[in-house]
Amino acid sequence: MTPSNTTAARRAGTEALDAIGDISEAKRWTIVGLLSASIMINLLDRQTLAVLAPFLRDPTAPGSPHWQWTNPQYAYIAVAFNLGMMVGQIPAGTFIDRVGTRAGLATIFSAWTVICALHALAGPGTAIESIFGGIYSSIPGLPAITGAGLAGFLVLRFMMGLAECGNYTAGIKALAGLFPAASRSRAGGFFNAGAQFGSVIAPPLILVFLINTFHVTWQWGFIIPALLGALWLIPWLSIFPSKERMTAIALKPAATASAPQAADSIGLLQLMTNSKVLGLFLVRVFTGPITTFYWTWLPLYLRSPVASGGRGMSFLAIGFFASVPNLIGMGGNVIGGIVTDRLVKATGSVDTGRKIAFACAFGLGSLSMAMPWVTNDYVAVLLMGLALFGNQWVAAVYIGTVGDVVPQHLAGRVAGINGFGDNGASMLAVLLTGAIIERYGWSNVFVGAGMLPILAMLSVFLVLRRIEPARFDYAGQRG
């Protein structure tokens, strides 16, 4: 490093410390709370269709529109969402890096809120079905679809995925700049716990209270969450720092190792071919589909007949039991994040502490493969909860590790790249799940879900290897 670069790095570090001093510890954790609330609303809006799916398809349920979607047809709708998530990840990460977390998250939040409410206008014979059905049929190469309102929901879910995909990226980028390595997993765990909490409250809110208790029409299941979520924008825009202040904060970790580099000096190809970024990418590829599986298929699994490997529960029972695994999983974010930070402190090594946490979390996540041999419903729900606990613990460790491997000014794009892999794998898994369930039942799906954490663990130890800052070529020189 040249003397001029050293002086610039020290100056940047001093500016960053001054900027950080302006943001109190209480304000940082308030921001964590807002980020957690954002992803909770994200999951509540996303889960509405999954929770309503058994009701919308049931010909015996009072008030049901009796849409006879098959499992593969429902899988197409879920795949459309994951396709949108996959396609939007890298553009969303680039957009958030460019405009900043404050404006970027507010923009995508507003978009998905509107799209969520538009679901209430979909269905057979609606304008949305006519318009989107025409758009869908005009795109060459897409499979022909038949079924009540499928085209409208397919397009809406794709648009929803495009809008929602940047939420996780924005959270990771914010935490990478606001928290040091010693407390980042704890902050990341609280942030990601919001996702699980959203999936916890969705079944009782929609099935128990709105449908069973207040007997509202299914359309209100989309409108009410959208209206409530819009209120989040008020505190977010008033509390989160501007892009300029976040940029100042982000200079600190880069200044401790080398001169800070402009975000544009590292291309996507450099990021994607870096072994440490690839290791993080594979962790998302092998663990993302597990959470997506439970979010997408759990209500239908609990409703499916016992003869097909399901649990044969009533709608009222689903409203409660579908929340329990996600509630236990939420603990994996919080408890796992706290345990991980303590392991880092106890071992005196970010690398050792995070790897111990990863190994424990992957072990719990693999419990899904035992589900075919569990006959007791209460034990089954507990086992699924422990599997989700492990998988959400992985998420907390992953969030902390991103900040260990790349500086904050690259975190948006790295999270976007990894999210692309996550959602691509989830899309394929959802599509295969529908076909497997239709032909073989549920057992093989759970065995496959239990194998994925083992592959993720191999990715950490064989590809990511040592958890330390990644090194890139800057203008032909090794950084």
Residue 22 pLDDT = 62
Phi, psi of 244 (to 5 degrees): -65, -45
Measured CA angle at 65 (ends 214, 75), to 5 deg: 110
Place of tokens 């083992």: 454
> Using an 8 Å Cβ cutoff, are 89 and 420 in contact?
yes
What are 17-42's pLDDT values in tens digits?
A: 444 446 788 899 999 999 999 999 99
Residue 250 pLDDT = 56
CA 92 – CA 156 distance, rounded (Å): 18
> Using an 8 Å Cβ cutoff, are 380 and 374 in contact?
yes
3-state secondary structure of 478: strand
Residue 325 pLDDT = 92
Burial 377-404 (b: 16+ CB within 10 A, else e): eeebbbbbbbbbbbbbbbbbbbbbbbbb
CA 168 – CA 43 distance, rounded (Å): 11
Walk along the chain (479 residues) and give the pLDDT tens digit of each residue: 444 444 443 444 444 444 444 678 889 999 999 999 999 999 889 888 888 888 888 888 788 888 888 888 888 888 899 899 889 988 998 899 889 899 999 999 999 999 999 999 988 888 888 888 888 778 787 776 766 678 889 899 999 999 998 898 899 888 888 888 778 888 888 898 888 788 788 778 787 677 777 778 888 889 988 888 889 999 999 999 888 877 776 544 443 344 344 445 677 788 888 999 999 999 999 999 999 899 888 988 998 888 888 898 888 888 888 889 988 998 998 899 999 999 999 999 999 999 999 999 999 999 999 999 999 999 999 999 999 999 999 999 998 898 889 887 788 888 888 988 998 898 889 889 988 988 888 999 999 999 999 999 999 999 999 999 888 765 443 33
Paired with 474 in beta bridges are 477
CATH of the domain at 133: 1.20.1250.20
- Alpha-carbon dihedral sign for residues 213, 216, 222, 225: negative
> Using an 8 Å Cβ cutoff, are 333 and 192 in contact?
yes
Residue 30: burial class (beta carbons within 10 Å; 0-12, 13-18, 19+): middle
Residue type, 31: I
User: Could you list the residue range(s) of the whole structural domain that residue 351 is in?
Assistant: 3-478
Report how many domains make up the chain.
1
3-state secondary structure of 90: helix
Q: What residues contact 146, with CB distance under 8 A and at least 6 apart?
A: none
What are 178-192's pLDDT values in tens digits?
A: 888 778 888 888 898
